[in-house]
Chain A
Amino acid sequence: MRKLTLAMAVLGLSLSGSSFATTEIQWWHAMGGANGEELNKIVKEFNDSQDKYKVDPVFKGNYTETMTSAIAAFRAHKQPAIVQVFEVGTASMMAAKGAIYPVYKLMKDTHEPFNPKDYLSSVTGYYSDLQGNMLSMPFNSSTPVLYYNKDMFKKAGISSPPKTWEEVAADSKKLLASGAKCGFTTGWQSWVQLENLSARHNVPFASNDDGFSGIKGTKLLFNGPLQVMHITKMHEWQKSGIFSYGGRRSDSVPMFYSQQCAMYTGSSSAYGGMVKNAKFDFGVSSLPYWASEVKKPNNTIIGGASLWVLRGKSKEQYKAVAAFLHFLSTPKIQAEWHQFTGYLPITHAAYELTKKEGFYKTHPGTDVAVLQMTASKPTVNSRGLRLGNFVQIRDVINSALESVWSGQATPQAALNTAVERGDVLLRKFARAHQ
Chain B
Amino acid sequence: MSVYFPQKKLPYLLVLPQLIITAIFFLWPAGQAFKQAFYREDAFGLSQTFIGFGNFIDLFQDPLYYKSMGVTMVFSFSVAFFGIAIALWLAVMADRVIRGKMVYQTLLVWPYAVAPALAGVLWWILFDPNIGPIALFLDRIGIHWNHFLNGDQAMILVVIAATWKQISYNFLFFLAGLQAIPRSLIEAAAIDGASPFKRFWDIVFPLLSPTTFFLLVVNLVYAFFDTFGVIDTTTQGGPDGSTNTLVYKVFKDGFIGLDSGGSAAQSIVLMAIVGLMTVVQFRFIERKVQY
Contact = CB atoms under 8 A, between A and B. Distances in A.
Interface in A393-409: 395, 398-400, 402-403, 405-406, 408
A35 interface: no
B130 A71 contact: no
A433 B42 contact: yes
A1 interface: no
A246 B148 contact: yes
B148 A402 contact: yes
A400 B259 CA distance: 22
Contact of A254 (B131, B149, B258): B131
B149 A402 contact: yes
Interface string A86-108: 00000010011111000000000
Would you call the interface of chain B mostly helix, strand, loop, or mixed? Answer: loop
A92 B41 CA distance: 13
A71 B41 CA distance: 13
A247 B240 CA distance: 12
A245 interface: yes
A392 B256 contact: yes
Given A246-B130, A255-B130, A399-B241, A92 B258 contact: yes
Contacts of B256: 64, 68, 391-392
Nearest to B41: A432
Would you call the interface of chain A mostly helix, strand, loop, or mixed? Answer: helix
A399 B240 contact: yes
A258 B257 contact: no
B6 interface: no
A348 interface: no
Interface string A221-254: 0000000000000000000000001111001001
Contacts of B150: 406
A399 B238 contact: yes
A96 B45 CA distance: 9
A269 B41 CA distance: 35
B149 A405 contact: yes
Contact of A432 (B42, B130, B131, B149): B42
Contacts, number: 81
A258 B130 contact: yes
A389 interface: yes
A98 B44 contact: yes
A117 B257 CA distance: 34
B148 A245 contact: yes
A74 B44 contact: yes
A431 interface: yes
A247 B46 contact: no
B165 interface: no
Nearest to A433: B42
User: In which size bucket is the chain B interface?
Assistant: 20 to 34
Contacts of B58: 428
A75 interface: yes
B65 to A, nearest CB: 12
Contacts of A255: 130
B148 A68 contact: no
B148 A248 contact: yes
Contacts of B151: 406
User: Of residues A64, A246, A247, which shows the largest number of chain B Cβ atoms within 10 Å of its Cβ?
Assistant: A247
A389 B257 contact: yes
A241 to B, nearest CB: 14
A95 B129 CA distance: 40
B44 A402 contact: no
Contacts of B253: 392
Nearest to A251: B148
B193 to A, nearest CB: 56
A254 B239 CA distance: 20
Contacts of B47: 432-433
B42 A398 contact: no
Interface string B33-56: 000000011111111000000000
Contact of B40 (A389, A395, A405, A432): A432
A318 B161 CA distance: 48
B66 interface: no
A95 B41 CA distance: 13
B255 interface: yes
Interface string B83-115: 000000000000000000000000000000000
B240 A403 contact: yes
Interface string A295-318: 000000000000000000000000
Contacts of A68: 255-256, 258
Contacts of A96: 42-44, 46
Contacts of A398: 238
Contacts of B64: 421
Contacts of A254: 130-131
Given A71-B43, A71-B44, A431-B40, A399 B239 contact: yes
A391 B46 contact: no
B238 A402 contact: yes
B143 to A, nearest CB: 15
25 contacts: A64-B256, A68-B255, A71-B43, A74-B44, A92-B43, A92-B258, A98-B44, A98-B46, A246-B130, A247-B148, A391-B256, A391-B257, A399-B238, A399-B239, A402-B148, A402-B149, A402-B239, A403-B239, A403-B240, A421-B64, A428-B58, A428-B259, A428-B262, A432-B40, A432-B47
Given A96-B43, A399-B238, A399-B240, 10 more contacts: A75-B44, A92-B258, A96-B46, A248-B238, A392-B252, A400-B240, A402-B240, A421-B64, A432-B42, A433-B47
Interface of B: 40-47, 58, 62, 64, 129-131, 148-151, 238-241, 252-253, 255-259, 262
Nearest first, the 4 closest Cβ-Cβ pairs linking A and B are: A399-B240, A247-B148, A406-B149, A96-B44
